[in-house]
Amino acid sequence: MTTALATIFVFGLIVFIHELGHFITAKMSGMQVDEFAIGFGPAIFKVQKGETLYSIRIIPLGGFNRIAGMTPDEPLNERSFYTKPAWKKFIVISAGAVFNFLLAIVLFFGLNAT
């Protein structure tokens, strides 16, 4: 049981950092983030802060950021993903992997420092 909980915690931390990378860069790029979620399926917990809904969902196998205008089929505004320049889209999309890499560096140096 402890191993399963530890696995869920570690995986959840990795997912959280990954999605946080997308979230922070989307906000800094002036994009509208409608939802920041950890997990999939029905929400266990959710809270609305400003324009963003923050939620924790029942299946802890990933997460997502719902950014307005990710496809041209959605209604677009000046803060939509689709209307932003390509370099901003690239930064937002790649930020998840970059944040995971930074997490690995921080953990590596943190563990070696102790």
Cβ-based burial of 48 (10 A; exposed 0-12, middle 13-18, buried ≥19): exposed
**Choosing from 19, 51, 74, 78, which is the catalytic residue?**
19
Pseudo-torsion of CA 27, 80, 40, 103, nearest 10°? -30
Tokens of residue 60, six digits: 């802890």
Check if 19 is active-site. yes
- Pairwise CA distance, residues 95 & 24, whole Å: 9
Tokens of residue 73, six digits: 């089929």
Question: What is the set of active-site residues?
Answer: 19
